[in-house]
C-alpha cells in the first residue's frame, strides 16, 4: 500500500479562500479515490498580523517537511511596516528557486494571436531585480538612480534544468532566453546554463531567442508547445502576457519549487495566479478553475500512481466542463462557483470509475 502523503494547506483571504475551499472539495477522498492528509495554516491577513507573520514561518517549515503545499490568494498590505507579502517569506524559507506558470487553451475562449498549444514560463523565483539595492546620488536635473542586481549560477542551473525536464515531459520546445548579447556577463550566466542543459537533453528541441525576440515571436506562435526559461523580472512580465494570450488566466496555475542537490523537486507549492478578487467575495460567482488546476498540478508531483491518475482526471474534467458550456461569468457563462465545481467533481468521479473498470 502506497504511503499517505501530506499537503500543507495555506489558507488565504476573501475570494482566494473561497476558491481554495472549492479545490479542496475536488481533493476529497470520495472524489479522487484515495486519502491525503491535509495540514492547515491560516495565512489570512488578520492572522498574519495577529502572529506577526509567525504563522507564515510555521507553514514554511511544515512544507519543507511534507514537500507539498496548496496556497490560496492572500492580501499584501501596502502600508510600510505592515506584515508585507507572505509569498516573499515562503520563497525564502523553502529556498524556492523556480516559478512555473503555464498558459493553455480554454475551449470557447478566443485566444490572442492564435495561441493554442500550452506555453510554460520557467522563471527564477529569487534574485535579479527583486531585492536589489537601490540608491540615488546628486541633486535636481543631475540626480542619478542606481541599483545592484544579482543572480547566482545555482538558480540559473535550476531554471535551465527544470525547463528541459519539463519540455521532455510535455514534448515541448525550449524557447527564448535572456538578452545575453547586451549583458554577456550577467544575463549570459543563464544562457550558459541553458546551452549546457541542451547537451544533457539532446532529445529536446532547443531554440534560444533574445527576450525581445521572444515577445515578438510569441505573437506569431500557433502550434508549438513552448517552455521558456527566464530571469526573475523577465519571467514576471512574460508570464503575465503569456497567460493573457489565451484570453484568460483562468486556465493557468502557478507552481513554486525548491530543489535538492540533483535538481529534483524538494518542495512544490501550487496556487492560482490571480488575486483575492474582493468585489466577488461572498457572491459565489468567481471562477475556481485555476485553483482546481493548481490542485491537479500538485497531485502530479506526489509520486504515487493514484495521484497521477487523479491529476489527469481533474485536468480533463475541468477543461471538459468549460467545453460543455458550464462556465462562470468571466468566461461568458452563468454557472456559479459551486455549480462549476460540482460539475468537475461529477466528471472526475465518472472518469476514475471508468478507468478503474477498464484495468485488466
**232-245 vs 211-218: helix axis angle to the nearest 10?**
0
Nearest to 237 by CA among 214, 220, 258: 214
Contact 136, 146 (CB under 8 A): yes
Q: What cell was used for 271?
A: 496556487
Q: Which cell goes with 183?
A: 549583458
H or E stretch covering 161: helix 153-170
Farthest-apart Cα atoms in the chain, separation: 78
For the packed helices 289-299 and 305-323, what is the interaxial angle rounded to 10 degrees? 160
Half-sphere exposure of 305 (CA within 13 A, CB side): 3
The predicted structure's pLDDT at residue 351: 96
Model pLDDT, residue 160: 97
Distance CA 191, CA 186 (A): 10
Q: Which residue has cell 511544515?
A: 62
Residue 244 gets which letter from DSSP? Answer: H
C-alpha cell at 315: 485536468
Per DSSP, the three-state class of 99 is: strand
Question: φ, ψ for residue 130 (rounded to 5)?
Answer: -90, 125
**Ranges in the chain annotated CATH 3.40.718.10:** 1-99+253-359, 110-247
If you compute the radius of gyration of the chain from its CA atoms, what whole number of angstroms results? 21
To 10 degrees, what angle do helices 153-170 and 188-200 make? Answer: 40
| Distance separating alpha carbons of residues 152 and 163, to the nearest angstrom | 17
- Among 17, 25, 20, 9, CA closest to 317: 25
The strand pair at 37-42 and 6-11 is best described as parallel
Instruction: Report pLDDT for 2.
Output: 56
- Report the CATH fold assignment for 110-247: Isopropylmalate Dehydrogenase (3.40.718)
207: left (phi over 0), alpha (psi -120 to 50) or beta: beta
CB–CB of 50/108 below 8 Å? no
Residue 1, pLDDT score: 47
**So what's the pLDDT on residue 123?**
96
- Distance CA(331)–CA(348), nearest Å, equals 21
Say what the pLDDT of residue 294 is: 96
CA 84 to chain centre: 21
- The fourth-level CATH superfamily of domain 1-99+253-359 is Isopropylmalate Dehydrogenase (3.40.718.10)
Structural contact between residues 232 and 123, judged by C-beta atoms closer than 8 angstroms? yes
Q: What is the pTM of this model?
A: 0.92
Phi, psi of 357 (to 5 degrees): -70, -20
Q: Distance from CA of residue 135 to its chain's centroid?
A: 32
The pLDDT profile of the chain, 360 residues, written as one tens digit per residue, is 457 899 999 999 999 999 999 999 999 999 999 999 999 999 999 999 999 999 999 999 999 999 999 999 999 998 888 999 899 899 999 999 999 999 988 888 888 776 788 999 999 999 898 878 999 999 999 999 999 999 999 999 999 999 999 999 999 999 999 999 999 999 999 999 999 999 999 999 999 999 999 999 888 766 779 999 999 999 999 999 998 888 888 888 999 999 999 999 999 999 999 889 999 999 999 999 999 999 999 999 998 999 999 999 999 999 999 999 999 999 999 999 999 999 999 999 999 999 988 864
In 3D space, the residue among 327, 319, 304 whose CA is nearest the CA of residue 351 turns out to be 319
> What pLDDT sits at residue 151?
94
Interatomic CA distance for residues 252 and 278, integer angstroms:
20
pLDDT at 249: 85
Amino acid at each position: 500500500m502506497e504511503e499517505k502523503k501530506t499537503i500543507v494547506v495555506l489558507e488565504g483571504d476573501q475570494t482566494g479562500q473561497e476558491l481554495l475551499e472549492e479545490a479542496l472539495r475536488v481533493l476529497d477522498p470520495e472524489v479522487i479515490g484515495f486519502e491525503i492528509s491535509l495540514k492547515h495554516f491560516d495565512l489570512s491577513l488578520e492572522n498574519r498580523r495577529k502572529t506577526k507573520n509567525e504563522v507564515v514561518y510555521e507553514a514554511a517549515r511544515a512544507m519543507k517537511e511534507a514537500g507539498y503545499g496548496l496556497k490560496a490568494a492572500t492580501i499584501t498590505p501596502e502600508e510600510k511596516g505592515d506584515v508585507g507579502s507572505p509569498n516573499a517569506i515562503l520563497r525564502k524559507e523553502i529556498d524556492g528557486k523556480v516559478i512555473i506558470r503555464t498558459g493553455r487553451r480554454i475551449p470557447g475562449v478566443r485566444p490572442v494571436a492564435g495561441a493554442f498549444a500550452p506555453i510554460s514560463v520557467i522563471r527564477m523565483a529569487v534574485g535579479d531585480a527583486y531585492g536589489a539595492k537601490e540608491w540615488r546620488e546628486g541633486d535636481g536635473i543631475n540626480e542619478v538612480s542606481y541599483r545592484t542586481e544579482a543572480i547566482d549560477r545555482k538558480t540559473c542551473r535550476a531554471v535551465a534544468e527544470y525547463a528541459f525536464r519539463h519540455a521532455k515531459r510535455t514534448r515541448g520546445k525550449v524557447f527564448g532566453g535572456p538578452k545575453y548579447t547586451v549583458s554577456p556577463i550577467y544575463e549570459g550566466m543563464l544562457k550558459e546554463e541553458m546551452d549546457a542543459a541542451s547537451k544533457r537533453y539532446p532529445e529536446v528541441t532547443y531554440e534560444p531567442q533574445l527576450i525581445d525576440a521572444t515577445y515578438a515571436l510569441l505573437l506569431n506562435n500557433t502550434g508549438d508547445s513552448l517552455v521558456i526559461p527566464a530571469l526573475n523580472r523577465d519571467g514576471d512580465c512574460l508570464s503575465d502576457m503569456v497567460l493573457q494570450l489565451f484570453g484568460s488566466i483562468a486556465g493557468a496555475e502557478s507552481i513554486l519549487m525548491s530543489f535538492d542537490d540533483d535538481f529534483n523537486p524538494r518542495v512544490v507549492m501550487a496556487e492560482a495566479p490571480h488575486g483575492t478578487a474582493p468585489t466577488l467575495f461572498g457572491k459565489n460567482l468567481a471562477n475556481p478553475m485555476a485553483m482546481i488546476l493548481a490542485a491537479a498540478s500538485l497531485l502530479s508531483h506526489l509520486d504515487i500512481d493514484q495521484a497521477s491518475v487523479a491529476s489527469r482526471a481533474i485536468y480533463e474534467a475541468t477543461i471538459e466542463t468549460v467545453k460543455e458550456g458550464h462556465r462562470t461569468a468571466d468566461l461568458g457563462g452563468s454557472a456559479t462557483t459551486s455549480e462549476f465545481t460540482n460539475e468537475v467533481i461529477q466528471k472526475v468521479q465518472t472518469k476514475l470509475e471508468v478507468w478503474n473498470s477498464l484495468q485488466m
